[in-house]
Amino acid sequence: MELEFAMLADAANTLQDSRINILGGEIETLYASKFPVVHPHMVLVMRIVGHFTEMQNPHNIVMYLKDADGKDIIKSINLTIPPAPREVPRTIKKFSANLIGQMVNIQFPKKGTYSVEILIDGRHEKSLPLELVEIQQPQHN
């Protein structure tokens, strides 16, 4: 079982034919004129793939958002992939699961580097860096 891809995006949804619609994908930097700042909404979009035999049991996906010091900004988002139905034909050797984790009203206390940490069944799979940058507001005369 492996993480085929993961990204932060503005929004996403899945379609019945296993496709994913992603809006504003590959977020790596957020800008703010002052800190702390609340980011209203973003999503973590992932696709997990593996061999059919791995889907006989549920799998747990956990995501943490941490600051540069390792402090939790979001303690965890937990997603579970349920076992495959028993009636799935044995000719199917591969599975994929599209997962979307919603993050709403996230407070970032200061500028700097943050990271999204993704674990599958307790095993670290990926880190997604997220940079928070302070920008100066133009002064009006």
- At residue 89 the predicted structure's pLDDT band, cuts being 50, 70 and 90, is low
pLDDT at 81: 84
* Average confidence (pLDDT) over 11-35: 91
- At residue 108 the predicted structure's pLDDT band, cuts being 50, 70 and 90, is very high
Q: How much is the pTM?
A: 0.85
Q: What is the CATH number of domain 2-127?
A: 2.60.40
Domain spans of the chain?
2-127
pLDDT exceeds 80 at position 88: no
- At residue 112 the predicted structure's pLDDT band, cuts being 50, 70 and 90, is very high
pLDDT exceeds 80 at position 114: yes
Torsions phi, psi for 53 (to 5 deg) = -65, -25
Question: Distance between CA atoms of 125 and 91, rounded to whole angstroms?
Answer: 28
* Average confidence (pLDDT) over 42-48: 93
